[in-house]
Amino acid sequence: MHYRNRLSSTCVAALLLLLGACAGSPPAPGTAAVGGAPVDAAESATLAATLAVGSVRLETVPQPLTPALSLVVASFDPGLPASSVGLSRAGIFPEIRKAEARFMPVLLRQVLQDSNAWGPVRVLPEPQSTAELQIDGRILHSDGRTLALHIRATDASGAIWLDRSYRDESQPGDFTASGSMDPFIDLYWQVANDLLAAHRERSSDALQQLPTIALLHQATLLAPEAFAGYLTETDTGGYALRRVPAEEDPMLGRVQRIRDQEYRFVDAVDQQYVDLFDTMQPTYNLWRQFGREQAEYREDYQRRLAQRDRAGPRGTFAAMEQTYNAFKWSKIQQQDLEDLALGFNNEVQPTVLDVSGSVYRLSGSLESQYAQWRDILGDIFRLESGLP
């Protein structure tokens, strides 16, 4: 019995030694440490050049702006490199990052709604070229300590409102037990404030034309010959209003109905985004909190290692046990979050919609369902309009 206990302790110590060596190993070649986690050198340079937003207060308005533009927030680009080699070492887990790319637009939409400055704000599974004002995002870096996003906002005329990177640093007090406030909420508030400032820089005439340009752009895509000549393409690749069809134009009325039906799909799947947000948030916050604590632990460990002033000799059982416990808790949180992310990414609920007495059932991913719905609406428009 005594021999078996000793053997067991030896095995555990060997495992802990291996984990401790992994935790204290230097970043891979071509990487740098940001927030305690190694990242690509190019990403590190981008983060270093991006100023943190600091403490921000969301600017609100008493009533929506005129016109109350309809906003589309597309699912973000997860920012995953082409090669998956070394991603886990850099703290990037593809399924979690893909879920973040859906999670973050929902939070941004909530913030934009809280500002009370806009009309409907919708989250779409992919960019929409016919939006009045569209917001695209790319995740540059995401862990419990640092969040960096690149945000681009473009209106229906092709004018760019925003095209910049944002970075925010979490603080220990940002991770509350209730999780009612996102640790990086200042970043989202800054994006909303910048959009409001960009709106104020636009002329009233240019703003008033955006809903018409957006509708005519969609009409041109549905019936190019019928709506030729209403829009002209600018030198920068955008669109300018050349003339406006009559209000009672029956073809334009059909386009508006198709547009409304397209948004019916968005409203129908919106609850799935909300469900993801509500289900993912508690575990996601724990995972990010642990990521922050681990980043601080790694920095402290490297600092003490450099100063030769550690609590105990390298390789002691106490030091290795601390590393192992941290590693074990990290893997539990990571696995829970990956299960949630994988479930949402692969098991989206079918959507059932009714149009003019016909029932359509859409299945597959949200991107696939959206493509199916747009094809159906295109067929309906051509059938109603007598177009081939």
Q: Which residue has the higher pLDDT, 207 or 16?
A: 207
pLDDT in tens, 139-176: 999 888 899 999 999 999 999 999 999 999 988 778 76
Given a cut of 60, whether residue 276 has pLDDT beyond it is: yes
| Residue showing tokens 């690749």 | 237
pLDDT in tens, 211-262: 999 988 888 877 777 778 888 888 887 888 888 887 777 777 888 787 777 7
Residues 320-328: what's their mean pLDDT?
58
Look at residue 369 in the predicted model and tell me its pLDDT.
74
Given a cut of 70, whether residue 42 has pLDDT beyond it is: no
Domain residues of the chain, as ranges? 30-345
Count of C-beta atoms within a 10 Å radius of residue 48: 11
Look at residue 60 in the predicted model and tell me its pLDDT.
97
What percent of the chain is predicted at pLDDT more than 70? Answer: 65
Contact 342, 353 (CB under 8 A): no
Question: To the nearest whole number, what is the mean pLDDT of the chain?
Answer: 75
Look at residue 339 in the predicted model and tell me its pLDDT.
64
For the ranges 156-160, 229-233, 294-298, 311-315, the one whose mean pLDDT is highest: 156-160
For the ranges 135-139, 169-173, 353-357, the one whose mean pLDDT is highest: 135-139
Q: Which residue has the higher pLDDT, 378 or 19?
A: 378
pLDDT in tens, 336-346: 656 655 654 55
Look at residue 334 in the predicted model and tell me its pLDDT.
59
Given a cut of 50, whether residue 12 has pLDDT beyond it is: no
Residues 92-111: what's their mean pLDDT?
89
Q: Which residue has the higher pLDDT, 78 or 360?
A: 78
* Sign of the Cα pseudo-torsion (33, 38, 41, 46, in order): negative
Burial class (CB in 10 A: 0-12, 13-18, 19+), 66: exposed
